[in-house]
Every structure is written in structure tokens, then in C-alpha cells.
Homo-oligomer: A and B are copies of this chain.
Amino acid sequence: MAGNSFGKIFRLSTFGESHGAAIGGVLEGCPAGLLINEQAIQAELTRRKPGQSKITTQRKEADQVQFLSGIFEGTTQGTPIGFIIPNTNARSQDYSHIKDQFRPSHADYTYAEKYGHRDYRGGGRSSARETASRVVAGAIAKQLLKNISIQAYVSSVGNLTLDAPYQDLDLTKTEDSIVRCPDAATADKMIALIDSVRKLGDTIGGVITCVIKGVPVGWGEPVFDKLHADLAKAMMSINAVKGFEYGSGFSGTKMLGSMHNDPFLPNGKTASNFSGGIQGGISNGEDIYFNVAFKPVATIMQDQPSINEQGEAITVKGKGRHDPCVLPRAVPIVEAMAALVLADHYLQSKLSRI
């Protein structure tokens, strides 16, 4: 299996299955001399961890990261940062009933066909548990990106949409609600909606918006590795993501060029920002903002018709613990992946001129 590494210079490789001994990662390319705040890293992990509120899965995981290398006397050494997160709540027996079943819209079938074998316990490698490793590395990236803020929030759940543009929101309030929507009134509605879906044993999707401030002009490698192309790949690699748009996005397709073009001001800033902070694949100093679409997760607490490995019709039972809506826990993952992309492009940007 290729595809377990992300980034060119600031490069994360992850490993681990949902119900193995541990998950973890190796982060290469972090420059030496960075003071590491381990508490801040753990705080990001805690934002992602299960069981944090009534609208997330009730599974409990300590999700404590252990650093094995690369940090000495609190400072990065320039050497690879190895870390693990032990799997403490691996109730594998919960999964014996689905050992030879293909759950609809999960990766069970495709893994079985691709690899022959598969670790059926909790989705194995395909579980979103893998993203905890991304959050660890992303938290280190955030510490490298000192003057940059990366703020994601839930902007829609199902048909409930927060219509205000991000500029009108107080993004410091995102963490005030368990759904991670900065607008209190909308947050309450979202929570009620998710709760009602949960009671049905069902799940629901939504959109996360991410806003990045403070990126200087010049990050992004044109042609294939455009900054937004790497952000897109980063976001699309998160479990359950179905779409990505930045700046004017899909709605920009309905505009005329004369409206869409962002006029320059004498200081090099632009009067509007339909470009979303990126022009020609390179940051232009304006805010970068984008939307990420999440489908309703496939694990539902309802019985579903399906097939087993022998191709026979079966019923997949809905039981156990699940997230009725992954959006709240996905907010730190979106931020982490954005941070990984930016850290990588920050380092690459140092090489553009003699």
C-alpha cells in the first residue's frame, strides 16, 4: 500500500489499524530548533477524540500521544519525530459479527477485493481513527507556522446552513459549542438536528469551512502543486469527504469575469477576494478560505441489506457506538491537514529564489 505519506519536505507517514496495538506516525522534515508545546498537541487530539459530547460516538479512547524521537530537551532536533497513540479501547469482539460482511458504503468490499485479506475490526486501516496521527503532526505544523491562524468551523449540517460569510463571524467562539459552529443560534439548531438523527440511528452530513489568515505572498508551487490543489488533495483524503471548493468555488462558476476579478489596491492587496487568497496556485497575501463537504457517515444503527464475502444476501445489523455526524470531530482534522499543507509549502517557498 502506497499512499501512507503526505508532503514533500514536511512529510508525514502514518501507520496503524483501528484495533491493532497502536496507531502512529513519523514526521520528517520538521526543522531543528522548534520549541514544542506538547500540551497544545494533546489539546488538538482531545478536540478530535471520541466521546467528547452527546453528539459524538460514546466510544472512549484516551488518545494520549507518546513521542519516541525527534524532540530533545523540548526542542526539535531536525531528526524524524516518531510517535504512537496506543489503542486502548479495542473491543475487537464487537466486530466478530461482521467479520465476513460487507457494510454498505464502507471500505470493506474494496479492501477485500484489493488486498485479499483485511483486518475487519473496526474498519482496520480504513477507519477514521488514522486521522488522529494527522492531528498530532498538524499540531506540530501549527507550531511551526507561528503567525498564521487556521480556523475551521461547521458551516452546515444537512439543510441547516450558516449563511453569514466568515468575515461576519467571531471564530473565537467555535469551541464554545459542541458542534463547533461559531454562531450560537445556528449551533443550537444543528445540535438539535444531529440529536434527532442520532435517535433515529441515522447519520447526517454537512460542510466545514476553513479560514487561514496570515499566509504571506508566495507560497504554492505552480502547475501541478498549486497551493489549492494540495489543499484539495489534503481535504479529499479525509474520510467521508466528497467535495472541496475554495474562494468563489462552485458559485463562482455563475459569475462574469468582470465581477469575479479581484481589483488590486496600491498596496498589493485586493478589493475583493473571490480568488480565495490564491492566484495561479500561489498565495497572494489575502485570506485563504475553502469549504469541505462531508457525506453522512456510513455506520448507521439500522439494519441494512447487504452481502457477505461469499456474495450471499445478508442483513448488516445496526449496533454498537457511532457518530451521528462526523462534522464536529472533523474540524480539528481539517485544520491539521491544512497546517500540513502550509508547513510543507512554507518550507518549499524558501527555495524559490537564489
Contact = CB atoms under 8 A, between A and B. Distances in A.
Given A105-B279, A293-B249, A226 B222 contact: no
A109 to B, nearest CB: 6
Copy number of this protein in the oligomer? Answer: 4
Contacts of A70: 15, 17
Given A222-B107, A248-B295, A258-B300, A126 B280 contact: yes
B22 A68 contact: yes
A24 interface: yes
B124 A79 contact: yes
Given A105-B279, A111-B282, A232-B236, A261 B21 contact: no
A226 B221 contact: no
A29 B274 contact: no
A232 to B, nearest CB: 4
Interface in A299-324: 299-300, 302, 304-307, 311-313
Contacts of A66: 21
Contacts of A4: 26, 28, 79-80, 223-224
Interface string A313-354: 100000000000000000000000000000000011111111
A254 interface: yes
Contact of A20 (B68, B205, B350): B68
Interface residues of A, number: 151
Contacts of A185: none
A232 B337 CA distance: 15
Contacts of A6: 224
Interface stretch (A54-62, A165-173, A176-184, A263-271): A263-271
B242 A253 contact: yes
B31 A352 contact: yes
B1 A28 contact: yes
Contacts of A302: 258
Contacts of A266: 307, 311-313
Given A205-B254, A229-B237, A297-B257, A353 B245 contact: no
A53 interface: no
B307 A262 contact: no
A57 to B, nearest CB: 14
A69 B236 contact: no
A23 to B, nearest CB: 7
A321 to B, nearest CB: 15
Given A14-B26, A33-B116, 5 more contacts: A1-B223, A72-B118, A77-B124, A110-B283, A258-B302
Q: Which 7 A-B residue pairings sit nearest by Cβ, starting from the closest?
A: A107-B280, A3-B225, A3-B221, A243-B245, A15-B82, A203-B257, A110-B282
